Structure formats: structure tokens, C-alpha cells
Structure 1
Amino acid sequence: MTFITGEEMTIQTPVLRSVNVVRYVTPLREGGSLPAIVEADDGFLYVLKFRGAGQGLKALVADLIGGELARALGFKVPEIVFANLDSSFGRTEPDEEIQDLLRASEGTNLALHYLSGAITYEPAVMRVDDRLSSQIVWLDCLITNVDRTPRNTNMLSWNRELWLIDHGASLYFHHSWDNWEEQARRPFVQVKDHVLLPWASQLPEVDAEFKAKLTPELVNNIVAMVPDEWLTGYGIDASPAERREVYANFLLTRINSSEIFVNEAQNARKALI
């Protein structure tokens, strides 16, 4: 069994590059979003998340914010980039479903650096120590990430290190904006299904550490990275700046009232062990 430990984490200021997609390599037929491996004009391969996929732009917003919050807290996260898809791209694609997806995704998409040779995290094979488990559980409670379960861990082992991927199912409050303040103070009941919960024995210590690191300035800087064009069509009468403010306030409210979701996680853990 491989044993993965949590090392001292340092805050990093997020900076996202932009690339142009030049080649569609292969689809990754996982879930309903049909991500794909693509090559960009910088010569690297990326896992591209399409704006035209069924989960839509909100999944890209959640993936960006969740991924960069994780990186800022010191977790290993593949580089996230803005990936531009030109209108002429994919015209020769023979698969009609993929061609429709490409046409619906013209403009700015989200992509993660492809970790060649990475393997999916398996709890029976790789043991994550209590500190790192607690840190990951705390993060997922903060961003309300429902997608870190034994069935779909969304973690990879690469170069003997644990990497976090795919936060698109986070921040689900943005599917119903009217009561975001109430949702920000709710416990994260889905934590009972978290793959690392049995080993998350250091939640109070991590809570104090992470609350000190996630300053309003840092949170606002991460939310400010979301492009205006991703903050349209939400069915509400608000500008991109106003929507960013809601995202930031939602996160800051959860951080300031983190004892609610920490207590929920501790109670759910006691029921397991």
C-alpha cells in the first residue's frame, strides 16, 4: 500500500494562462460532460471541459473556483488554463455528437494539464494520512463538493503524490440563487459519503489553519478570475460583477461559519468508525 502524507502547505497567488486548442485527440467518455484530451498551441496536452456540455458554464465556474481554492491551500492540482476554441475547429470531426459539442463550445473553455500515466486514487491501495484526509474533507465541505465518493473519488496518484481534479459539481448553490445566504450556512450533509472521511481525525486543527489562510483578499482574487462570459444566462438580472460578489460572499460566509460544516463532518465520521 502506498502511504500519502500531507506536507506543510503554502499559499500561492493564482495566475491562469490562456491557450488555443489546435488538435482534438480523444474523448473521455465519463459522465455527461464528454471532456476530451486536446493539444494546445503550447505543445501540451490538456483535459478540456466544454462550455457547451450538458453541465454548462456553471460547471466551469465551479471547477475554476474550487480548483484554485485547492491550489491556494497547497493541494496538488493540475494547472488550470483558459482554452480558446476557434469557430473553425472541429469542422472535420466525423462524430456528429462531438461536432455539435465543439460548435456549442466556441470561445473560452476550461482545461487542466493532462497528467500522463496518472492512476485513479483507490483507498484499498493508497493510504492518505489523517492530516491530508482532514484537509481535503474540509475543502470539500467548504465548496460543497458532492463528487469525492468511493464511486468517483476525483483524485489521482501521479509521481507518488495525490492530485485533486474535477470540482465542477461544487458550489451547487448557484443552481438556485435566491437563498444563497441560507445555503452558505448549511451543514454539508453529503460529507457522510466522502471517501476520506474515516481518516479525517484532525478537522478542528485544519479548520483553524485554513480559516486563517483563506482571507477575503485571496477569495476575491480567485473569484475575480472567472470570465464575464461565463457569468451570463443564469436566469437572474445581475451583472457579472454582482454574480462574482455573490460567489465571494457565499464562500466567505461559509468560512466564517465553518464550525457548522466541521461539526457535521465530525458527527458523520463518528457514525462510521
Structure 2
Amino acid sequence: MNNFPIELRTVNVTRYVTPLREGGSMPAIAEADDGFLYVLKFRGAGQGPRALIAELIGGEIARILGLRVPELVFANLDEAFGRTEPDEEIQDLLKASVGLNLALHYLSGAITFDPTVTEIDSRLASQIVWLDCFLTNMDRTCRNTNMLLWHKELWLIDHGAALYFHHSWQNWKEQAERPFVLVKDHVLLQWASELELVDQEFRLILNAEKIQAVINLIPDEWLEGETNFDNKDEHRRAYAYFLETRLAHSDIFLKEAQHAREILI
């Protein structure tokens, strides 16, 4: 029985405001029927629903661990929504994304974190580095920090590049126990001097029940068309297995991060 329920609100997209032409996913600022603005991530974009799954899992696990992440919501896109869009590329994206998408609450006035301007304390840096090693998130580098400063606090965004094993599912069980070698490029690694302490704390917070609660959020329609599994329940169990195994062997990615930091500094 799951005693740690997590629920995400569902909103209906009412207005496409402007595209955010970043990378291949081309998210957009959109307005929903609750009156709020969101950064909308489309299921019809380059990496498809897998990027939304990574965004969902990464964002909600970060939230469980006490890190700041904009509210995630399911965003329903109506079939008629893109008919009046004059840009053909955007119109095609909207048509391919009819149904349930994912959106993050838009942090109006937020600025991109710049490591040359703002220094992060060692505890927070260690927490974020640990998270990204756990999630195998390759996209928190100096080139693209995927962090925002909003009201003088650091917020994490865009976890769509995490869990990259699920794009092929090749040797995925073995990958759960592998170090995260790309940590050497992490933008916060130089400040992450409390990784061992954070590892102890996060292993007490995160457990199989909480991981399963996050996995249960994945909509059925995002799991369609996957040929590596017999059914959607098996597909979800694979995500849970990967994360639970990775948590149980956190010493492997912890040592890799500590080694990379020693070389860096």
C-alpha cells in the first residue's frame, strides 16, 4: 500500500504565448485555464514522452529531497488548439502534442544562474550534485546550468535530459550500478564539499515507497509504444527498479563525484 501519495494538478492550455527556442525540444510559455503562466514541455517534441517522464521523475524527486522546483502540472492540449498558429513548425508540434503534456510554473522575473556571478554554499551544491548523479542528469553544466535565481533563491528546472538510459533501455539494469562519469562537467562540483553528508541524509529521506509514489504519476499515454516491456506496469517497475538500485548503490556515484572534484580543485 502506498502511504506517500503525490498528486499533480491538471490544467487545460488556453493560450500559446511565445516559444522558448532552446535546444530541440522548443518548449513554450503558455497560459492555462487557472490563469497562470507555465513553461510547457511538449510530448510531440524531439525526445517525445521520455523527456516528459524524466522531467516528472527528476522534478518530483528533487522536491521530495527539499530542493526548490517550480510546480509541475499535467497540461492538456486540445486538438483544436494549434489550428490558428501561423508558424508551421509550431503548428506541427502542437498537433503532435494533443493530449497530456507537462508544464512548470513560470517564474516571472527569474534570471539564469551564472556561476561566475553567484556562489552557492557547499551544502546546497552538494545536494544538487548528488541529485544529478542519482538521476544521471547530464544537463547541469556551465554551458547550460538549468538553474534560476528567483527571489534570491536557487530553483532547479529542466530535468528532461536525466535518466538517459531509457532512450534505448540497453543494459539498463547494469547502468543502475554505474558511476556517473559526466559529473566532472557539473557546474556546481567545485563547491560540493559535503557529498558524503548529503548522501547519508538523502538516503534517509528517499526510499522505495517515495520512489514508487513518483513513478505512479507517469500517465499511461506516455508509456505507449514501448516495445521493451510487455505492459505499462512492467514499464513502471523498470523505472522503480533502476532508481531503487541506484539509491542502494549510491556509494558508487558518490566516489566518482568525489574523485572528479579532487581532480577539479
Bin of the TM-score, shorter chain as denominator length: over 0.9
For 1:93 and 1:56, locate their aligned partners in 2 and report how far apart those are by CA, in whole Å: 21
The answer on 1:260 being equivalent to 2:252 is: yes
* 1:15 equivalent among 7, 13, 21: 7
Match of 1:223 in 2: 215
Match of 2:152 in 1: 160
For 1:104 and 1:228, locate their aligned partners in 2 and report how far apart those are by CA, in whole Å: 17
Structure 2 counterpart of 1:35, which letter? Answer: P
Structure 1 counterpart of 2:161, which letter? Answer: A
State the Cα distance separating 1:258 from its structure 2 match.
Answer: 0.3
Match of 2:117 in 1: 125
The root-mean-square deviation of aligned C-alpha atoms, in Å, is 1.0
263-272 or 237-246, which deviates more: 237-246
8 A contact 2:26–2:45 mirrored in 1: yes
Unaligned ranges ≥5, structure 2 = none
Q: Secondary structure at the match of 2:119?
A: strand
8 A contact 1:13–1:72 mirrored in 2: no
* 1:31 equivalent among 16, 23, 28: 23
* 1:72 equivalent among 64, 67, 77: 64
Structure 2 counterpart of 1:223, which letter? Answer: I
**TM-score of the superposed pair, with normalisation by structure 2:** 0.97
Query: How far does the alpha carbon of each residue in 1:33-52 deviate from its partner, in whole angstroms, 9 at most, with x for none?
Result: 11000000000000000000
8 A contact 2:12–2:77 mirrored in 1: yes
* 2:139 equivalent among 143, 147, 150: 147
State the Cα distance separating 1:232 from its structure 2 match.
Answer: 1.5
8 A contact 1:231–1:240 mirrored in 2: yes
State the Cα distance separating 1:114 from its structure 2 match.
Answer: 0.3
**TM-score of the superposed pair, with normalisation by structure 1:** 0.94
Match of 2:82 in 1: 90
Structure 2 counterpart of 1:96, which letter? Answer: E
Match of 2:234 in 1: 242
**Pair 115,13 (structure 1): closer, same or farther in 2 beyond 3 Å:** farther
For 1:211 and 1:232, locate their aligned partners in 2 and report how far apart those are by CA, in whole Å: 32
State the Cα distance separating 1:176 from its structure 2 match.
Answer: 2.3
For 1:250 and 1:237, locate their aligned partners in 2 and report how far apart those are by CA, in whole Å: 15
Q: Percent identity?
A: 68
For 1:143 and 1:218, locate their aligned partners in 2 and report how far apart those are by CA, in whole Å: 15
Q: Secondary structure at the match of 1:126?
A: coil
8 A contact 2:229–2:235 mirrored in 1: no
State the Cα distance separating 1:129 from its structure 2 match.
Answer: 0.3
Match of 1:214 in 2: 206
For 1:233 and 1:146, locate their aligned partners in 2 and report how far apart those are by CA, in whole Å: 25
For 1:241 and 1:125, locate their aligned partners in 2 and report how far apart those are by CA, in whole Å: 46
Match of 1:9 in 2: none
Structure 1 counterpart of 2:185, which letter? Answer: D
Q: Secondary structure at the match of 1:173?
A: helix
State the Cα distance separating 1:90 from its structure 2 match.
Answer: 1.4
8 A contact 1:14–1:72 mirrored in 2: no
8 A contact 1:81–1:111 mirrored in 2: yes
Structure 2 counterpart of 1:213, which letter? Answer: I
For 2:95 and 2:253, locate their aligned partners in 1 and report how far apart those are by CA, in whole Å: 41
Match of 1:49 in 2: 41
For 1:207 and 1:176, locate their aligned partners in 2 and report how far apart those are by CA, in whole Å: 29
State the Cα distance separating 1:238 from its structure 2 match.
Answer: 2.3
Q: Secondary structure at the match of 2:16?
A: strand
Aligned residues: 262
Query: How far does the alpha carbon of each residue in 1:132-151 deviate from its partner, in whole angstroms, 9 at most, with x for none?
Result: 00000000000000000000
* 1:105 equivalent among 94, 97, 100: 97
* 1:233 equivalent among 219, 225, 234: 225
Q: Secondary structure at the match of 1:53?
A: coil
Q: Secondary structure at the match of 1:60?
A: helix
